[in-house]
Chains A and B, each alone.
Chain A
């Protein structure tokens, strides 16, 4: 089992839709979790950190389920500009050098 697993997608949704991605992780000792956004041919940028049960920022909500070892990202009222790849990143708690990056979920929002 991979340490961090994501559905690669693509998820094709119309503008205004609500879409959710899941990310599962294998290390139950993982301490912190992040969602990064990566636009095509660009660097990843932090979207949200998830330190406890969840986090909300505007249209974006991240939730953590430690029992089932997954985190989710919910995007409400999708915009064309949300089209990107979303990377799930897990910190197993043994230092920043052990961050594990998922392969990403691609989202395409259409008019």
Chain B
């Protein structure tokens, strides 16, 4: 299994440009999430999905869109890049079972985005 994969690894955008960060998982996990990680701050949830066709906003959703047409894929779209979106973006997947509820988050390797 490849686990969670993300592309690209690095990206530089100019202010106002748009782009899509790709995320895929091959573990058949129902839950998928996008986080951003900034210095001095914990990972913050951008958007998440509890299954194909179902998405919802996290803590910091502004400026981002997501969709989930399949269980495997969960792309993140930056609509009009701003310098404040310079960050490291992690996609994650997880699953739930029994009394333990949600299990660990499996993270992708991350995308380092710089917006100039």
Contacts and interface: CB of A to CB of B under 8 A. Distances in A.
B31 interface: yes
Contacts of B17: none
Contacts of A102: 42
A31 interface: yes
B103 to A, nearest CB: 8
Nearest to A3: B42
Contact of B104 (A4, A42, A46, A103): A46
Nearest to A97: B48
Contacts of B45: 97, 99
B43 A45 contact: no
B107 interface: yes
Interface in B20-61: 31, 33, 35, 40-45, 48, 50, 56, 58
B42 A49 contact: no
A7 to B, nearest CB: 13
Nearest to B103: A49
Which size class do B's interface residues fall under? 20 to 34
Contact of B42 (A32, A51, A100): A100
B40 A49 contact: no
A101 B36 CA distance: 11
B41 A91 contact: no
Nearest to B88: A41
Contacts of B48: 96-97
B95 to A, nearest CB: 9
Contacts of B44: 101
A87 interface: yes
A34 interface: yes
Contacts of B100: 32, 51
Contact of A97 (B40, B56, B108): B56
A44 B90 contact: yes
B114 interface: no
B19 interface: no
A57 interface: no
A1 to B, nearest CB: 14
A100 B40 CA distance: 14
